[in-house]
Amino acid sequence: MSNRQINFGILLPTREAIMSGCADPSSLYHIAERAEALGFHSVWVGDSLTARPRIDALTTLAAVGARTQRVRLGTAIFLAALRNPILLAYQLASLDWMTSGRVDLGVGYGRPKEPVSEHEFEILGLNPSARMKMSEEIVQVMRRLWRENDVSYEGKFTRFEHVTIEPKPTQPGGVPIWLASNNVEPGLKRVARLADAWINNIKSPEVFGECWQKIRAYAADAGRDSNSIHPGIYFTLAAGGKEAIVEGQQFLAQYYNRSYEAVANAMLCVTGSWDEVIDWMEKYIEAGAHTIVLRFAANNQLATLEACAEALNRRGLLQ
């Protein structure tokens, strides 16, 4: 095990709130408050407009931010390309200001060639095939608006003159931007060029390690210090006894509307006893991961959070 500080975050179940049909925001607040009390480093929310309906990401983080003091507030992941970059820069700056500089923006792109994912772009008058380039441009626009006044910009998708955003984010230089990429060369190069941090759900710790070394090399080629990029992993788990594992597999099948086997083939899903699952986490830590965003495939998220904290503490990992 590495001696460096490893951060554990948890995903708040904003989609499950819709799927359950229960209008009960207190459950989300309880999970976030309890995560902070148990010593977790961060809470995260997903994002989708119509493909997988859920409570709005930034609204959730604002509400949770008002009920917590220390825990960081992240998106894993956020479809930035669905938003106007000036408006998004303003919203994020305000959120960062309101939460005393606790926001992390994890940016992803939606699933390629998936009709419901592409439909989200089309209903907003956007071209889904341009989402990668749009996202890159949004990152560049937002950083300028966070760091400068009287900004003018002439890009492929965005053009404006004389814009000043107030308030600026509390964090110096703006909100840290995490870029999502699995084992895809253009994505890894994008992380190396543009990202403050990297998030992914690569299924193999060995492949994760290889990709991280590629990012470090690409960053050096781009004249960046690779130590300035923070590596993370998005880790879906169902842990405990046989019942918990079966429940987790059913949970994911329902969530994605496909078989569990298809889900596990497409993304990192780890099942087993808590010790077996944490063994897998440690493989990613050894391969370079500094932050592990835990997403519980479980119906009772609060009870799973408690069990997870107990298991991590047994291993001396939660500080």
For the cut 80, the answer to whether the pLDDT of residue 252 exceeds it is yes
For 22-63, write each residue's pLDDT tens digit. 778 899 999 999 999 999 999 999 999 999 999 999 999 999
CA atoms in the 13 A half-sphere facing the CB of 215? 34
Sign of torsion over alpha carbons 239, 44, 16, 119? negative
CB 234, CB 294: distance < 8 Å = no
For the cut 50, the answer to whether the pLDDT of residue 72 exceeds it is yes
For the cut 50, the answer to whether the pLDDT of residue 257 exceeds it is yes
Please name which of 104, 42, 41, 33 lies closest in space to residue 66, comparing C-alpha atoms: 33
Domains annotated for the chain, with CATH where assigned, are: 7-234 (3.20.20.30)
For the cut 80, the answer to whether the pLDDT of residue 177 exceeds it is yes
Give the mean pLDDT of 226-235: 97
- Residue 99 has what DSSP assignment? T
For the cut 50, the answer to whether the pLDDT of residue 1 exceeds it is no
3-state secondary structure of 231: strand
3-state secondary structure of 94: helix
Give the mean pLDDT of 133-158: 98
> pLDDT band for position 295 (50/70/90)?
very high
pLDDT of residue 2: 46
Backbone torsions φ then ψ of 263, nearest 5 degrees = -65, -50
For the cut 80, the answer to whether the pLDDT of residue 4 exceeds it is no
Q: How far apart are CA 105 and CA 120, in angstroms?
A: 20
Backbone torsions φ then ψ of 281, nearest 5 degrees = -55, -45
Crossing angle for the helix pair 274-286 and 301-314, nearest 10 degrees?
Answer: 70
Give the mean pLDDT of 201-230: 97
Residue the block writes with tokens 């006894």:
241
